[in-house]
Structure 1
């Protein structure tokens, strides 16, 4: 899915709510339900694929392998994290081109320094605004005539306050950002104020367990938000379900403390087993 489809959805009146996808099974589940976009988080992509924290350990080759594979199977446009661009401006340009070639609809670039850290653990520090403006200019140049959308994320709320962060996002918009990501606002009033003052679509991160109030999409829409991502809800639920099963099995309950199980036959279907069986039958290899 390309940025063209996501741009068309942006032109509509409704908010775009994108659930987090963190592995291929979560992607298949999201595909089945049906959303306007899917969000591939660096935090959860790194956690799922590597078992490591979101502190810049994963690099471009890791992200493009994971997120490019998501884009190939996704039924909705994929918004994908690119941290700070994976290095200098040459690395950033390479990332924009690579994400675009992989069919990713929107690339998220943040204004932290290196090593970055998850914006909801209370440690993020932003670089000078001019450095992020340079990142925006490089990203626009690298996109060329392509259609990938550029998301500028600011983590400055914690250290510089809301007004300074809005000023930063406004500058990022002036230098090419298509979508403005206000990370970790701490109240509905802050979200509404930012959305009213910025002249580009605003994205909010509804991270379960983070600093920002988690609301239904329509509630964010009333505040003037155009995009809301829910990166943590599904992986946290899946982790708890897995822990329930493991704890139950250890205690002698093969059904995992009464936790419900997704239907195995349905999972096999989502993974494409019916197509494989049909192929084998067509070629007498069943």
Structure 2
């Protein structure tokens, strides 16, 4: 396995203007199958790692060291296939982000994705997200860019502003992150074809689109996304959803349960399989009280 070769290949594909399609991987067999089926790249999905590796929903419960350990194994299993790795918010302040980038780079990933949510983050297709300021994220981004050693390591800047502040602010942030040096920008969870088209039109930097089964963004075809000029299309849930369906069918057959009672149709229902309701109750129990009226 040659880490530099995988990184250079991913950068070359993006600079050539083609669309890189990256299915989500989350364990050894999904990574191995991605390599054997000759995908363009693989996307190490934080949600998939949380669910498959730890039985947890994607609400900021998995740590940097746990993700790095998983990234190292995924890179080995993928061989020369470039791995695009989710690193959530960078796991702390800019100082922590420096260590995160160093650890992910040492693990061999070809790209690292950071986002402007406040900690603890939530899956981009769940409600009730909170953001840090654009200025705060620019400090995170600067730390990440300064920390990388291999110039071929791509730094992807994701904004979740669409759900919180609207599409105008999401586009403004994405363009600001690109101007600050992000190699690729990622507006999370646009709603409708019109929003996908506007993002493509108003952001000139290389763009990533996230196509989540049952999520908020329309599942446009490879041909249409290529026509719009997107650089990367990640499909984080496809393999995981099919694997979970197979497990539900097999285990309900053994127990006599009705599989229809457990089938998820959207991300929040999938995370209920790994305790979303219970963790939400814990979060609510210890939530900082509002200071309004104090």
Question: How would you bin the TM-score normalised by the shorter chain?
Answer: 0.7 to 0.9
Give the TM-score of the pair, scaled to structure 2. Answer: 0.83
Counting matched residue pairs gives 253
Matches within 5 A, 1:34-183: 34-74=38-78, 75-183=80-188
Give, in angstroms, the shift of residue 251 of structure 1: 4.4
Counterparts in 2 of 1:180-199, with a 5 A limit? 180-199=185-204
Match for residue 6 of structure 1 among 3, 10, 13: 10
Contact 1:100 1:146 survives alignment (8 Å): no
**Corresponding residue for residue 212 of structure 1:** 217
Distance in structure 2 (CA, Å) of the matches to 1:151 and 1:38? 15
Cα gap change, 1:224 to 1:49, in 2 (>3 Å): same
Runs of 4+ in 1 over 6 A off after TM superposition: none
Q: Are residues 80 and 220 of structure 1, via their aligned partners in 2, closer, same or farther at CA, if it must alter by over 3 Å?
A: same
Structure with greater Cα Rg: 1
Q: Deviations over 1:63-99 (max 9, x none)?
A: 0000111112214100000000101111100011111
Q: Does 1:203 align with 2:208?
A: yes
Kept in 1, the 8 Å contact 2:17–2:229? The answer is no
Report the equivalent of 1:233: 238
The alignment yields a C-alpha RMSD, in angstroms, of 1.6
Q: Could you give the per-residue CA deviations for residues 98-117 of structure 1, whole angstroms, max 9, x where no partner exists? A: 11111100000000011111
CA contact (8 A) 2:43 2:83 kept: yes
1:224 counterpart = 2:261:
no
What's the TM-score once normalised by structure 1's chain length?
Answer: 0.85
Q: What is the SS of the residue equivalent to 1:153?
A: strand
Where does structure 1 lack aligned partners over 5 or more consecutive residues? 257-286
| Corresponding residue of 1:263 | none
Aligned to 2:25: 21
Which stretch of the first structure deviates more once superposed, 28-37 or 228-237?
28-37
In structure 1, how many angstroms separate the alpha carbons of the residues matched to 2:226 and 2:193? 11
